[in-house]
Amino acid sequence: MRIFLALVLMLGYAASQAQPTRLRGTISAFDGKALSVRDAGGAVVQVEVQEKSEIVFTKPMSIGDIRPGDFLAISSQKRADGSLTAYEVRRFPKPLNPGHRPLDGRDDQTMTNATVGAMVQAANGRELTMTYEGGAQKIVLPENASISTLVPGSREQLVAGAPVNLTMDAARVALRIQVGPPKR
């Protein structure tokens, strides 16, 4: 009996420590409960959307809407000289997971979640100085970067053609779905 109880406790602990899985892609279908997402490799993944699944919408905004003090999540391309050029910027309503790290385990892309400390005009866009506890990064923000702010979303925005970036648990239940306007 003790061995059985120990095994149950260990499995419960392991399950509670499981990290969510990230999925990026485009919605191919949504029936109100099952979300079909086509990933970058072309595979279609089924994800269950429950009442507890958080949905946020990436509402487009302009480069002029960014202000010092804003908390941004910036996906950047790392150049050969080590400089960073943003290709996607999302403004968050509150700080979330601050820091600077490789994006999806790649050396040539980074994710910086930080506060805008300064913004200056540069030859190829604007240069943002992003600050977070223990560091800072200078990132060039070109005019063609995708820029949006996160607002509360709804199931009605889960339509075919819309880009998604979601996290799901081991049972493929969506924890958080970030959806954008469908690509035209």
Bridge partners, residue 138, by sequence = 129
Residue 6 within a domain: no
The CATH number given to whatever domain includes residue 33 is: 2.40.50.140
| Closest to 176 (Cα-Cα) out of 58, 60, 52 | 52
Across the chain, which has 184 residues, the per-10-residue mean pLDDT values are: 48 59 95 95 96 95 92 94 93 89 85 93 85 95 91 96 96 96 83
| Closest to 113 (Cα-Cα) out of 66, 60, 74 | 74
Q: What is the pLDDT of residue 31?
A: 96
Residue 141 within a domain: yes
Q: What is the pLDDT of residue 5?
A: 42
Q: Report how many domains make up the chain.
A: 2
Q: What is the pLDDT of residue 4?
A: 43
Contact 147, 62 (CB under 8 A): yes
Residue 106 within a domain: yes
Residues with Cβ within 8 Å of residue 84, at least 6 apart in sequence: 76, 77, 78, 110, 112, 137, 138, 139, 140
Q: What is the pLDDT of residue 9?
A: 47
Q: What is the pLDDT of residue 6?
A: 43
Clarify whether residues 115 and 70 are in a common domain.
yes
